[in-house]
Amino acid sequence: MIAPFCSVKGLSVRYGQEVALSSVDLDIVKGERLAIVGESGSGKSTLARALAGLLPKRVKIEGEITWPALGHAPLPGRDFGFVFQDPGTSLNPVLTIGEQVAEAARQHLRLDWRQAYARAEELLERVRIPQSASVMRAFPHQLSGGQRQRVVIAAAIAANPALLIADEATSALDVVVQAEIVRLLDGLVREEGMTLLFITHDIALASGFVDRVAVFRNGELLEAGPVRSVLSSPSHRYTAALISSHRDLSTQPLITEAVS
């Protein structure tokens, strides 16, 4: 058996009295695209932060998270990139796009500024931003929400991390832009062989492109499995309800096939 990329065993997380995660067991396979789905408050972001080692100190954590394939705890930016919901808050309003993406590259790749700028421009092209040279000199407010999220993704993958964690990365965007960003993430993880943790409340959106789905409710992992089997025969009524509460899944070819 191949060692999992990341192994979570008996993970429980409490914020004071509030139980955010309860005895979660989950393995992440190298190179897979895994969706973490569940309603707001189900513990998705807590799981992402626990994996990333980004939970606040006061939080009570039990259980263990190991990285067998990596052999060490992952370093932010270097081993994993993080993309959050709101590209507005991830970017500094007073620095140019070029400065911010170059800084991400410089920090993690030991480049000097000139090399880092060249790398930044290359990264903007990788995330399919047109006219990357002029976007380098732009400030965040001059870009659309979708373009800003592309910039955040460029910074997140600056050091070729093995893992990309996208936490509701498309939730603030309108449906068309959302689909474009999903397509971009899908293409990038395929090209780079990255592992993707795609966190969303929208199971329909995730199931259009991920390999596996893990369903959370109230801090518990209800079920995890290949996207087709979870969609066609969910083990929990909650999963079935989650599926039917989202936009018409039958419009997506993958799912029509699974259901029929």
Residue in this structure with the two tokens 């932060």, named with its chain if needed: 49
Mask 26-45, x = binds ligand ADP (CB under 6 A)?
------------x-xxxxxx
**Which secondary-structure segment (H or E) carries 230?**
helix 227-232
Q: Is 46 in the site for ligand ADP (CB under 6 A)?
A: yes
Single out the residue of 211, 208, 206 nearest to residue 169, CA to CA: 206
Question: With contact defined as beta carbons under 8 Å apart, do 36 and 47 qualify?
Answer: yes
> Which residue, 218 or 252, is less far from ligand ADP as judged by CB?
218
239 binds Mg ion (CB under 5 A): no
Residue placing its CB nearer to Mg ion in the complex, 45 or 178: 45
Q: Is the dihedral of CA 4, 10, 233, 171 positive or negative?
A: negative
Q: Residue 200 in contact with residue 78, Cβ under 8 Å?
A: no
| Binding test (CB under 6 A) with ligand ADP, winner from 9, 15, 68, 134 | 15
* CB of 85 or CB of 207, closer to Mg ion: 85
Give bridge partners of residue 212 from the DSSP assignment.
Answer: 34, 226
Nearer of residues 51 and 157 to ligand ADP, judged by Cβ:
51
Closest CA to 52 of 222, 167, 149: 167
Q: Please tell me the count of residues contacting ligand ADP according to CB under 6 A.
A: 11
**Residue 47 Cβ vs ligand ADP, minimum distance, rounded to whole Å:** 7
> Tokens standing for 112?
């000097």
Residue 199 near residue 165, CB atoms below 8 Å:
yes
200 makes contact, choosing from Mg ion, ligand ADP, none, with CB < 5 to 8 Å by partner type, with none
Task: Report in angstroms how near the CB of residue 38 gets to Mg ion at its nearest.
Answer: 9
**Nearest alpha carbon to residue 65 among 74, 75, 57:** 74
Alpha helices, DSSP H, located in 53-156: 87-90, 97-109, 113-126, 132-136, 145-156
Residue 260: contacted member of Mg ion, ligand ADP, none (CB under 5 to 8 Å, by partner type): none
Applying CB under 5 A, among 45, 147, 195, 200 the residue interacting with Mg ion is: 45
Quick one: what does residue 38 bind among Mg ion, ligand ADP, none, with the CB cut-off 5 to 8 Å set by partner type? ligand ADP
Please choose which of Mg ion, ligand ADP, none residue 131 contacts, taking the beta carbon within 5 to 8 angstroms, the exact cut-off set by kind: none
Per the structure block, which two tokens stand in for 19?
Answer: 């139980």
Nearer of residues 44 and 119 to Mg ion, judged by Cβ: 44
- Residue 85 in the binding site for ligand ADP (CB under 6 A): no
DSSP letter assigned to residue 192: H
Q: Can you give the binding site for ligand ADP, defined by CB under 6 A?
A: 15, 18, 20, 38, 40-46
Q: Can you give the binding site for Mg ion, defined by CB under 5 A?
A: 44-45
